[in-house]
Amino acid sequence: MAIEHVKLSHQAREQLIRLKRHTGIEHWNVLCRWALCVSLAEATVPPLVKIAADSNVEMSWRVFGGRYAELFTALVRQRCLKDGLDVDEETVATQFRLHLHRGIGYLATDRNIRSIGSFAAVAGGQQATGPA
C-alpha cells in the first residue's frame, strides 16, 4: 500500500481520546485497527470527503498494522474490488483513510460504548454501529 504514515484529523484525534477514556485502551493503533474493521463491515461505501491530516496523531503503517499489516492491506483491497473501485495504490490509500475515519466516527458516537466490554460487543458486531 502507498501509505507510509497514518495521520489523523483533529476530529478523529478527539474521538479517539474519548474512546480511550471509555475503554481503557491506551494505544491509538489498536483503536484504529478496530475502527477500520468496523467500517469495512459496513455495507455502504464511505462518502468521498476530504480528510484533513491536522492533528498530532501520526503512526507509521507498520505501527498501525503490526504483524497484521499485510492482512489490513488485503482487506482494504478486497473492499475496493467489492465496491467496484480500482485497486491502484492511490485508490487503496484513499479508501483506507475514508474507512479509518468513518470507523472512528462510528465507534466514538456509539452511546453504548462505555467500557471495554461494551466496546468489544459493538466492535465485534453484536450491536449495530453505523446508520441503519
- The residue among 129 and 48 whose pLDDT is bigger is 48
What does the pLDDT read at residue 116? 84
In the numeric block, the cell 484525534 is attached to: 13
Question: Which grid coordinates belong to 49?
Answer: 470527503
What's residue 126's pLDDT? Answer: 60
The CATH number assigned to the domain holding 76 equals 1.10.1220.160
| Residue 12 placed within a domain | yes
CB-CB contact of 55 with 16 (8 Å): no
Whether residue 132 is contained in a domain is answered as no
Each residue's pLDDT tens digit, 5-54: 899 999 999 999 999 998 999 999 999 999 999 999 999 999 999 999 89
pLDDT number for residue 113: 81
- Which whole-number Å values give the CA distances from 62 to 5, 18, 85, in the listed order? 9, 24, 25
Question: What pLDDT sits at residue 83?
Answer: 98
Give the residue numbers spanning the domain of 71: 5-123
Whole-model pTM above 0.75? yes
